[in-house]
Amino acid sequence: MDSDKIRRQWSQRQQDHGNDPKSVLMKGVHSRFNQTIDLWHRHVIRRVFGKVDSGSKSYVLDIGCGYGRLANELEALGFLPIGLDFTPGFCKTFLQKFEYSVCADLSALPFSEGSIFHAYSVTSLMYVDSNEAKEALSQVDQSLVAGAIVLILEPSYEFNRFIRFFLPQKGLDNLAVPGFRREQFYGGLAPSNWVVVESGSNIATTVFLPLLLLFGRWRVLYAFFSRLVLFLDRPSSRAGWLGARIAMYRWVAYRKMA
């Protein structure tokens, strides 16, 4: 996907929706479903970084930060989030909420070696192809200290392919993405000196997706199914295992060894 085209479309999306989950999550679904996805993302963030010592001035790079939807979770854990985005509007908004924001492209990260303690990408790498994503993570690796934790949470290629078989119009969306294959999460994307610490997926949300979309307008019914899938998909549950082939999203926490 052309990077200039992506930049223009994200700038337009930021102008259209502002600081709302719809601007960075899914279009065309009820806001309650985006709230469920947002809550699950937060559960994963807390699971991965809640066990990490924030230390003194531990900078965490928020790759594709948007308006800072998840950065407050890191701040609550004692970390200092650094927003990275190529959309000026998002960078400006992030800077209004948090101390540091950098407007830059993944292909040219402006950080010195060993200046970042940890990093995470939540549905950000999916807008570049696998080779570009791999190169971007290689650049991130150079900025990280040894022992850094990196969370990658991205869409599943297998799920997207399955959905587009039944809904071919989804592939026509301006920001439609293929996602990443299961084996890429196991090491195809990450540098060789990163080892998997923990992993999972939102397989329950995927299985109950038709009901979640159907009941979006009915608050009580939706709340029941939302609580159910969030419980089943909680990061500590084996139900969310990475091996689920058609889960909407997968996540992996890596540790940089050297």
Q: What is the pLDDT of residue 171?
A: 45
Closest CA to 70 of 95, 46, 91: 46
pTM: 0.85
Sign for the pseudo-dihedral over CA of 54, 59, 65, 68: positive
Q: What is the pLDDT of residue 174?
A: 45
Closest CA to 257 of 141, 152, 153, 110: 141
Containing 176, the helix (H) or strand (E) segment is: none
Query: Could you give the CA distance from residue 22 to residue 29 in angstroms, rounded to a whole number?
Result: 9
Q: Which domains does the chain have, with CATH numbers?
A: 3-25+53-200+241-256 (3.40.50.150)
Locate 244 and state its tokens: 């689920």
Query: Could you give the CA distance from residue 24 to residue 4 in angstroms, rounded to a whole number?
Result: 18
Query: Could you give the CA distance from residue 12 to residue 224 in angstroms, rounded to a whole number?
Result: 35
Query: Could you give the CA distance from residue 44 to residue 201 in angstroms, rounded to a whole number?
Result: 10
Locate 126 and state its tokens: 């999916």
pLDDT string in tens for the chain (258-residue length): 555 655 555 455 555 555 555 555 666 678 889 899 999 999 999 999 998 887 766 899 999 888 888 999 999 999 999 999 888 888 888 998 998 999 888 777 888 888 899 999 998 887 778 888 888 899 999 999 999 999 999 988 888 777 766 554 454 444 456 778 888 877 778 889 999 999 999 999 999 999 998 998 999 999 999 999 999 998 876 655 555 678 889 999 999 997
Query: Could you give the CA distance from residue 27 to residue 180 in angstroms, rounded to a whole number?
Result: 20
Containing 14, the helix (H) or strand (E) segment is: helix 3-17
Question: What number of other Cβ atoms are within 10 A of residue 217's Cβ?
Answer: 9
Q: What is the pLDDT of residue 175?
A: 44
Query: Could you give the CA distance from residue 215 to residue 82 in angstroms, rounded to a whole number?
Result: 37
Closest CA to 122 of 165, 61, 50: 61
